[in-house]
């Protein structure tokens, strides 16, 4: 399995993910979503409870439509390689969107959910948080912490 980390905190990093979902949805195995409202704060219940649904992306879209807010959304799209049974890639857009409907990041987050719901792609809203980078720490300290 190979991990491909797209440009962090850039909404443009969603373009390869959106393109894969829209044009090659048959290759998409699933999508893991990590969300948080404040740094170090676990995701809200409405976000993690959606994992129990048959199509969690639809429920998440409903919550966002009702005005629920999620300030950070990390998208990890798992894609199988064509003509291979066991070769997978993970495309990771870290911090590139949110679910606020405000600005570019909000429209990107909404679009990801819309495409996941449209194509019925298995979606996993996770309760875990990714480690955050403290820019005052050295790179070695940061790797040790992870």
pLDDT category of residue 122 using cuts at 50, 70 and 90: very high
CA distance 88 to 104: 29
Residue of higher predicted confidence among 66 and 102? 66
Residue of higher predicted confidence among 137 and 72? 72
Q: How many CA atoms are closer than 13 Å to the CA of 85, on its beta-carbon side?
A: 0
Count of domains for the chain = 1
- The residue segments making up the domain with residue 17 are 2-145
pLDDT category of residue 85 using cuts at 50, 70 and 90: confident
Mean pLDDT (the chain) is: 84
Strand order in the sheet with 2-5: 2-5, 88-97, 72-80, 28-36, 123-126
Q: Please report which helix (H) or strand (E) contains residue 28, including its range.
A: strand 28-36
3-class DSSP state of 68: coil
């Amino acid at each position: 399995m190979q991990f491909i980390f797209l440009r962090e905190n850039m909404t443009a990093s969603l373009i390869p993910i959106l393109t894969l979902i829209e044009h090659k949805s048959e290759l998409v195995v699933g999508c893991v979503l990590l969300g948080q409202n404040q740094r170090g704060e676990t995701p809200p219940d409405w976000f993690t409870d959606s994992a129990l649904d048959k199509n969690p992306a639809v429920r998440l879209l409903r919550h966002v439509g009702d005005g629920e807010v999620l300030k950070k959304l990390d998208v990890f799209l798992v894609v199988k390689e064509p003509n291979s049974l066991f070769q997978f890639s993970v495309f990771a857009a870290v911090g590139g969107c949110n679910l606020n409907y405000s600005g570019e990041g909000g429209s990107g987050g909404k679009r990801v959910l819309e495409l996941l719901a449209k194509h019925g792609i298995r979606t996993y809203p996770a309760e875990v948080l990714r480690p955050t980078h403290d820019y005052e720490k050295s790179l070695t300290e940061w790797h040790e912490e992870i």
